[in-house]
Amino acid sequence: MTKALERREKLRVDLIRAAEQMIAERGLSGLKTRDLAREIGCANGAVYNLVADVDELVLRVGSRTLHRLDEALSAAESTGNPSPQETLVRIAIAYCDFAAENLELWRALFEHRMAADKILPDWSVNDQLQLFRHIYHPLALLLPERGREELGITARSLFSAVHGMVALGLEQRLVAVPLPALRKEIAGLVRAMIDGLVARAK
Amino acid sequence: MTKALERREKLRVDLIRAAEQMIAERGLSGLKTRDLAREIGCANGAVYNLVADVDELVLRVGSRTLHRLDEALSAAESTGNPSPQETLVRIAIAYCDFAAENLELWRALFEHRMAADKILPDWSVNDQLQLFRHIYHPLALLLPERGREELGITARSLFSAVHGMVALGLEQRLVAVPLPALRKEIAGLVRAMIDGLVARAK
DNA sequence: AGGAAATCTGAACAACGTTCAATAAATATT
DNA sequence: AATATTTATTGAACGTTGTTCAGATTTCCT
C-alpha cells in the first residue's frame, strides 16, 4: 500500500469519525461538509474524494451505529435469565437504552432519507437485516410450530412494535416520559405480546 | 372584516392547501417557498406575511392531517363488532390504512423537526394528544381495574407499538411487505398484545 | 530526475429559507 | 374628495447549503 493511499484511508476514517461525533452532538441536520473539512484538516471539496456525497457519509456512520447496536443486543441476549421470554424483554430494554444513550445517532438511522432514485448499497441493507436475528432465535423457541418465513415476519413485527414505543417515548415533542417508566412500559408490553402470541399459537 | 384582511385570509388558506398538496406529491423535503408562491400567485417574500416560517406551515398542514386521521379512527371506532378488543384492532388497521393512503403527509407528521429552541404551539400539541383518546376508551373497558394515569400510559404504548409496525412496514428501505400482509400482522399482534395485557391484569 | 497520474484546493454554482428597502395599495383623517 | 398614514407586496439580496471543477500541488513510476 502506497503512502498516499494510506493517508487517504486515514483521512476517510477521520472523516467518518468526525461525522459521527458531529451527528451525536448536533443531530443529523447539524452535519455540514465545511465543518467536517475544517475538523479533519482539508478543503471542503476534498471531502468528495473520500466519499461520494453526504448520503454515503451518513450511511457509513449508520453502519457503525448499527454495529454498536448489534453488540449491545448481543450482550443482552446472552446475559441473565435464559428463558426466551425474558431474553426478548432484555433485548427490548437494551434497544431502548441504546437509543437513549445514542439518541442522535440512533435517530439518524431513521431520519435519513435519500433521493428516491438512489438505491441503498448492499452493505447497508445487510447491516439492517442483521438486527432481526437477535429476536428470531428466542422467538423460534417460543413458537416452535411456526415456519421460517412466518417467524421472520413476526420477529420484524415485534422489533417494529418495540421500536415504535422507543421512538415515540424518547420524543420530547409529546409529554416526555421518564426513561425508567419507559423501560417498565416496554417490559410490560413485550411480556404481554409474547404471552399473547404463545397463547394464540396453541 | 375589511377587504384586505379577507384577501389575506383566503391567500393563507390557499397557501396551506398548496403546501398540503406539495407535501403529498413530493414529500416534506419537496416543499419549497418559491414553488408555493408561484402556485398561489404571489411573490416569494409574501409567503412570510401569511405564515411566520415554513415550520408553522408544516405544522398547519400537520394539523389538517391529524384531524383527518382523527376522523378515520373515529369511523373505525364505531363501526362493526363492538367488542373492545375488535374495536382496537379496527383502529389499528384504520391507522395503517390512513398512513398508506396519505403516506407523505403522514410521514411529515413525524419527520418534521423544529429548531430545539422553538417551542411547539399549544394547538399543535393538543392535536396530537387527541389521538390517544380513541384507544383509551376501549382499553378502559378491557382493563377496568387500572387507574386513569396508568391507562393513559398503556394507551400511549399501544399506539406507539402499532405506529412502529406501520412506520417500519411502510418503509420501502427494508424488504417491502405488501399492505395486506402488514394489515394481517398488525391485527395479529394487536390481538396478542391485548390478550396478554388482559391475562396479566388478572 | 522528470514526466504522468492522482489528489487537493478554494473559488464558483445553483438552490434554499429568510429579510428588507422600496413600491403599491388600502384605510383613516381632514 | 383629497391627502396623510398605515399596511401589504414585491423582487432583489443575503447567508448557508451540497456539489463541481479548472488549476495548482503532490505523489508515483521509470
Contact A173 B120 (CB under 8 A): yes
- For position A165, what pLDDT does the model report? 96
For residue A125, list chain B residues with Cβ-Cβ distance below 8 A: 173-174
Q: Is it the case that residue B95 has pLDDT exceeding 90?
A: yes
Pseudo-torsion of CA B9, B10, B14, B15, nearest 10°? -30
Q: Does residue B48 register a pLDDT over 70?
A: yes
Q: Which of residues 86-105 of A touch B (CB under 8 A)?
A: none
Of B164, B177, B200, the CB nearest to A195: B200
What are A103-143's pLDDT values in tens digits? 999 999 999 999 888 988 888 888 888 888 999 999 999 99
Rounded to an integer, the average pLDDT of B181-195 is: 96
Q: Average pLDDT of chain B?
A: 93
Amino acid at B166: V
| Residue B1 binned pLDDT confidence (cut-offs 50, 70, 90) | very low
- The percentage of residues in chain A with a pLDDT greater than 90, rounded to a whole number, is 80
B79 exposure class (CB count in 10 Å sphere: 0-12, 13-18, 19+): exposed
Q: How far is CA B14 from CA A108, A170, A188, B158, in A?
A: 34, 35, 47, 37
Question: Which bases of chain C are contacted by protein, using any atom under 7 A from a CB?
Answer: 6-12, 15-21, 26-28
Whole-number mean pLDDT of chain A? 93
If you search the block for the grid coordinates 403516506, which residue do you land on? B103
pLDDT band at B6 (very low <50, low <70, confident <90, very high): confident
Q: Is B154 on the interface with A (CB under 8 A)?
A: yes
Residue A87: C-alpha distances to residues A25, A147, A181, B17, B41 (Å): 32, 21, 20, 49, 60
Q: Which pLDDT score, from 0 to 100, does residue B2 have? A: 59
Domain ranges of chain B: 1-51, 63-201
pLDDT(B87) > 50: yes
Distance CA A160, CA B168 (A): 6
Superfamily of domain A55-201: Tetracycline Repressor, domain 2 (1.10.357.10)
SS3 A175: coil
CATH-assigned architecture of domain B63-201: Orthogonal Bundle (1.10)
As a residue count, chain B comes to: 202
Q: Which CATH class is domain A1-51?
A: mainly alpha
- Whether A61 has a pLDDT exceeding 50, the answer reads yes
CA distance B182 to B95: 12
Taking 60 as the threshold, does the pLDDT of residue A23 lie above it? yes
**Two domains, one topology: B1-51 and B63-201:** no
Q: Are A73 and A95 in contact (CB under 8 A)?
A: yes
Please state the rounded mean pLDDT for residues A179-195: 96
pLDDT at A1: 47
User: What mean pLDDT is predicted for residues B156-176?
Assistant: 87
